Structure 1
Amino acid sequence: MPSVTEPKLISGNANQPLAGAISRRMSMHRGVNVGLVDARVERFNDGEIFVEVFENVRGEDMFIIQPTSNPANDNLMELLIISDALRRSSAARITAVIPYFGYARQDRRTKARTPISAKLVANLLTEAGIERILTMDLHAAQIQGFFDIPVDNLYASPIFALDIAHHFKGKMNDLMIVSPDVGGVARARELAQRINAPLSIVDKRREKPGEIAEMTVIGDVTGKSCIIVDDICDTAGTLCKAAEVLIEKGAKEVHSYITHGVLSGPAVERITNSKMKSLVITDSIQPTQPVLDAKNIRIVPTAPMFAQAIMNIWHGTSVSSLFEHGTLAPIYEGMYTVGA
C-alpha cells in the first residue's frame, strides 16, 4: 500500500460551502493544500445519481462530507454512491462526515407496524463500504449503537458556550438555559453547566402530532434572559410557542441555540415574527436564502471543529478532546473574544 501523505476530502452536493470551509481550515493547519478531490456528482434525466472521481484514491484515507438533509433521500443516495465509487477505487479507509444525520428522529418504533429507519440507514452506510462515521448532535445518542463501526458524535454545546460567553459578556448572571421539552433536558443541562447558568424546562403536552395542547414552565424565569437549547428546529412551532410562554412567565428576553436548522415550511416566517430576539444555528445544514436574509437568525461555523476532528481521526488521536473548552477555544481563536 502506498504511504498516505495527507487526508483526502470529497464532497457531495448537500453542503458544499461547509466542505470548502473544512478544506480551507485543514489547509491552514497542515500548511499544505488539502483540497477537495476533483469529482462530479450529477443526475441523469431520470433522477439517477452518477459519480465519477477524477483523482487517484488508491490507498488513501478518504473523508466524504455530506449531511443527509433536505432532500434527504437524494443526499443519502449521493453519500452511498460516492462511498461505493471510492471502495471500488481501492481507498484504504472511508469515513462519512455527516454533520446532520437525517432519519435520526425515526430511532424507535412509536407504534405498531412502523419502521426504525435510523437503523436501516446505518445498515445502508455500512454496506456501502463506510468504515467510520463522524457526525454532530445525533437526535438520539443510542443511534451510535445501530452501527458496528466507530461513530464519533461531536457536540455543538462547546461552540455555543463560546458564542454565549462572547455575545452575553457582562450579562452571564442573568442567563437561564431552557429545555423546550423533557426529552432534551440532558442536552440543556450540559450547556448550563458549561456556562454556570441555572436550568428551566418547558413541559409540553400534545393532543395529536403537530398540535401542542399545553405548555408549562418548570422553574422561575422572571427577569431572566432565557436561552432555549435544542438539537433540531424543523417547522419552529414548538420553539416559537415556548418563547411566547416564557415571555408570559416574566422572562426579559428569549434567545434560542439550535444545532440543526432544518427550518422547513413556515419556519423562517414564524421565527421572524416570533417573540424570540435571536435564533442561533450552525451551518451543519446549508442555509437557504430566506434563512440568510432573516434579521433574527445567526449562523455559527462548525468547520473549525470538523476540520480538527478529521485531523484527529487521521492522526489516530482523541476526538473527545474537542468537547473541552481548553482544546476548542484555540481552534475558534479570532472568532470569539471569550469572557464573562
Structure 2
Amino acid sequence: MVTSSLFTTPAAPPLLACKSGFNQAPLPVHMRFDISKSSQLSNGRLSLPGFSCIHQESILALNPDSTVKPEGRVKIFSGSANLLLAQEIASYMGMELGKINIKRFADGEVYVQLQESVRGCHVFLVQPTCPPTNENLMELLIMIDACRRASARSITAIIPYFGYGRADRKTKERESIAAKLVANLITEAGANRVVSIDFHSGQAIGYFDISVDQVYGQPVILDYLVSKNIPSKDLVVVSPDVGGVARARGFAKKLSDAPLAIVDKRRQGHNISEVMNLIGDVKGKVAVLVDDMIDTAGTITNAAALLQQEGANAVYACCTHAVFSPPAIERLSSGVFQEVIITNTIPVAEHNYFSQLTVLSVANLLAETIWHIHSDGSVSGMFK
C-alpha cells in the first residue's frame, strides 16, 4: 500500500499472463454494454504495430535485446489528480507506484515529500492539470522540484490532459498566452521532458524549450469503434467546428476513409456557442462527432441536435478529454447521443456517469510511451 495525506494507492490487481511471456494487469473500462466481449477487443488496448506486453524487470534485466540505458532505473509517481490512471500504468508495466506524501496545509499550500530515493533514477510523474487546474498544476510543479532536488537523473512529466492548452494565442488585445506561461513554469521547475495526449493545438508543443512527446488517443477510440462492427458505408465522421477539420479528417481515413461533414458555428462568448449550418450529408447515416475535449458540451450537443435534424440515424460523440464542466452531464445525457465515448485522461466522478457514457483507458498507451522513451525508441513510430 502506498499512502499519503491525500490519497491511498490500492495494491496492484492480479497480473495475467500474456503472449510475450511477461505479465499484464487487466485494466478496468466503464461501459454501458456487456464488458466481457468489448474488453477483449478494446479495453484501451492499441491496434498498433510493434506493441506488446512489457514488464519492468524484463526492461532492466531479462531482455537481452533491450536498448534500455543499463544505468537507469525507472520510477513512476502519481499526483492526486488521476491516481487510478497512474496505478493502471504501473500495473501494466509490472511495477508499483513510488511512495510519495502529498498534502495541503491549512492555508492551502501544497507539500510534497518523496518517501524513497530517486537519485540516479529516470522519474515519470503522472499528473493531468485538469480541474481544479491551478491546484493540480502547482502540485505538479512542486513534485518536479522535489525530484530535481533529490538528484533524479531525468524527470518526465506525464500530463495526460494539458490544462491552459486552449489559451494558446491572442484572440483579443492585451490577452495573456497562458499556455506558454505554463510551459515555462514546467521547464523552470526542472522537467526534462513532457508527455501529453492530444494537445488542443500544435503550437502549444512549440512553447516548451524541452523535449515534448505528443501521444494520440485516437487509436484507443478507433479500436473500440471498430469492435462495434458498424458498416463503413453507414458511417460519416463529423467535425463539430471548422477548427477540428484536420482531426476529423484523420479519424475518417482510419475508418475506411469514411465521408466527412463539418458543422459551422459562431461562438458568442466563452463557453457559449451557436450552431449555424451543416456542410456535408448525414441523412440515413451513423454520425461520429470527433473532438479533442468536451467542456460544457455546448458545441457538441448543438452539433448533435443539428445532425438529428438533418436525418442522421444515430449520433456518437468521441473525445479524448472529458472536462465535463456544468452543465455538460445534463446536456450529454439528454438523449441526443447514442453513445458518448471518452478516455480516462481526466477522472470522471461516479456521480457523473450516465447510461450512454463509455470510458476507455489510455493506461496501456502511456505505459508503452514510457517504455519507448526509456529505451530511446521512437514515440511517433508507435502511430505509423
TM-score, L = length of structure 1: 0.90
Instruction: Assess if the C-alpha contact under 8 Å between 1:268 and 1:290 holds in 2.
Output: no
Give the distance between the partners of 1:235 and 1:170, measured in 2 at CA: 28
SS of the residue corresponding to residue 152 of structure 2 reads: coil
1:214 Cα deviation (Å)? 4.0
Confirm or deny that 1:318 pairs with 2:378: yes
Give the distance between the partners of 1:265 and 1:247, measured in 2 at CA: 23
Can you list the C-alpha shifts for 1:34-90, whole angstroms capped at 9, x where unaligned? Answer: 211111111111100000111110010000000000000000011000000000000
Instruction: Assess if the C-alpha contact under 8 Å between 1:233 and 1:261 holds in 2.
Output: yes
Give the distance between the partners of 1:282 and 1:307, measured in 2 at CA: 15
SS of the residue corresponding to residue 7 of structure 1 reads: strand
Confirm or deny that 1:193 pairs with 2:253: yes
SS of the residue corresponding to residue 158 of structure 2 reads: strand
1:7 Cα deviation (Å)? 1.3
Can you list the C-alpha shifts for 1:139-190, whole angstroms capped at 9, x where unaligned? Answer: 01111100111110011112221111102x1522211100000000011111
1:23 alignment counterpart = 90
**Structure 1 pair 182/52, CA: closer, same or farther in 2 (3 Å)?**
same
Alignment of 1:251-290 (within 5 A): 251-290=312-351
Give the distance between the partners of 1:22 and 1:129, measured in 2 at CA: 23
Confirm or deny that 1:143 pairs with 2:204: yes
1:3 Cα deviation (Å)? 5.7
Read off the aligned partner of 1:294 and give its amino acid letter.
Answer: F
Confirm or deny that 1:89 pairs with 2:156: no
1:177 alignment counterpart = 237
**Structure 1 pair 191/213, CA: closer, same or farther in 2 (3 Å)?**
closer
Query: Which of 78, 82, 88 lines up with 1:11 in the alignment?
Result: 78
1:209 Cα deviation (Å)? 3.8
Query: Which of 280, 283, 304 lines up with 1:219 in the alignment?
Result: 280
Can you list the C-alpha shifts for 1:234-293, whole angstroms capped at 9, x where unaligned? Answer: 0111111111100000111100101100001111111111311110000000111233x3
1:248 alignment counterpart = 309
Read off the aligned partner of 2:91 and give its amino acid letter.
Answer: R
1:236 alignment counterpart = 297
Give the distance between the partners of 1:70 and 1:193, measured in 2 at CA: 33
Point out where structure 2 has 5 or more consecutive residues left out of the alignment.
1-68
2:194 alignment counterpart = 133
Alignment of 1:43-62 (within 5 A): 43-62=104-123
Give the distance between the partners of 2:267 and 2:80, measured in 1 at CA: 37
SS of the residue corresponding to residue 93 of structure 2 reads: helix
Point out where structure 1 has 5 or more consecutive residues left out of the alignment.
28-33, 325-340
1:213 Cα deviation (Å)? 3.9
SS of the residue corresponding to residue 168 of structure 2 reads: coil
1:5 Cα deviation (Å)? 5.0
Give the percent of matched residue pairs that are identical in Structure 1 and Structure 2. Answer: 45
TM-score, L = length of structure 2: 0.80
**Larger relative CO (CA 8 A, sep 6+): 1 or 2?**
2
Give the distance between the partners of 2:268 and 2:326, measured in 1 at CA: 22
Read off the aligned partner of 1:50 and give its amino acid letter.
Answer: Y
Query: Which of 133, 136, 139 lines up with 1:72 in the alignment?
Result: 133
Alignment of 1:288-307 (within 5 A): 288-291=349-352, 293-307=353-367
Q: How many residues align?
A: 315
SS of the residue corresponding to residue 217 of structure 1 reads: strand
Read off the aligned partner of 1:24 and give its amino acid letter.
Answer: S
Bigger helix fraction = 1
Can you list the C-alpha shifts for 1:12-53, whole angstroms capped at 9, x where unaligned? Answer: 0000000000000011xxxxxx21111111111110000011
What's the Cα RMSD here? 1.3
Instruction: Assess if the C-alpha contact under 8 Å between 1:43 and 1:49 holds in 2.
Output: yes
